[in-house]
Amino acid sequence: MKIVELGRTGEQISQLALGCMIMGTVTPEDEAVAILDRYVEAGGNVLDTADCYAWWEERGSYGGHSEELIGRWLARTGRREEVFLTTKGSAVPRDLDAVWPGGRPDWEIAYRTFVGAGATTLREAIDGSLRRLGTDHVDLYYVHVDDRTTPLEETLEALAGIVQAGKARYIGWSNVRTWRMERIRQLCAQHGWPAPVALQQQHSYLRRRAGHRHVSIVDDEQLDYLRAHDDLTLVAYSPILKGIYDDPEKRRGHGAMEPYLGPDADARLAAIVEVAAEVGVTPNTLVLAWLMHQNSPAIVPLIGPRTLQQFEAALPALDVKLTDEQFTRLDTAGA
């Protein structure tokens, strides 16, 4: 497992991070524990969770399943000092009845009614997360969904207090526009508050289609911003887009493909399939390897396997070797 620096903090983290979103709900505890054990054995140390994971899998719940499971695993194994523990706040629904009008939650309502990143909300959220995780601090604390209704000064001052109190060592942001990130950084510099060291966004080999508006998917402007600010590490969630690279049938009509559909995606899919065959790995595996080969900006892919088998399928990406020609072919593919 390759080790990289988090921003310019000096912190050494594994380049492949483990997303724990569905642990304790979709992934039962015994299998989740097996994945956690195997990940650490393979040299990984970044565990990513959130206070809201996974409220949408259990009607009447506000989440916390993933944090509680990780807390039990940490207590049993004593591995707290071996992992770089990250969690998030701000994306818990205010009113569960409103977001569950039927058999499944209404995500449009949920996004409009998250608790947000007010000072009191964040202070209470971090305390709840620490209690569930069974630790006195996390290594990185994210604002999960950018909250434009709360003044940034209020959010940032609260986060500074959380860091000063020793409840989080660093802060990060997720699902945010580039202009907002620049404003956040300016305010941190102005007031002497700790600035974000990680930006967690959806990022993969495919590029979102022209004209598609999506706050959470990295675009060219955001990549350019990250190249110019290497103190901010890109943590790429959904790197293999629900596994669609391996299966043409799965891609047809899959929601993960919708933001990418078009000639550019067709050309890049053809390239990834071709090079994967040359290298002797699956397209999903090659996408992870391609992301880890990036250095401008450096990228930490965040995988979220549902099963131990899916986790094991990701590990060969750590050993993929690409020639300069193959790397160029992948980089330049597109319409």
pLDDT of residue 240: 98
**CA 93, 94, 98 angle in degrees (round to 5)?**
80
Q: What is the enclosing helix (H) or strand (E) of 160?
A: helix 152-164
Nearest CA among 216, 206, 151, 150 for reference residue 177: 216
Backbone angles phi, psi at 179, to 5 degrees: -65, -30
Domain 3-244+288-321 class, CATH top level:
alpha beta
- Domain ranges across the chain: 3-244+288-321
Residues 297 and 230 sit within 8 Å (Cβ to Cβ): yes
The conformation of residue 57, written as its DSSP 8-state character, comes to G
Residues of the chain below pLDDT 50: none
Q: What is the pLDDT of residues 112-132, one digit of tens each?
A: 999 999 999 999 999 999 999
Residues 18 and 26 sit within 8 Å (Cβ to Cβ): no
pLDDT of residue 210: 87
pLDDT of residue 213: 87
The three-class DSSP label of residue 86 is strand
Look at the pTM and tell me if it is higher than 0.85.
yes
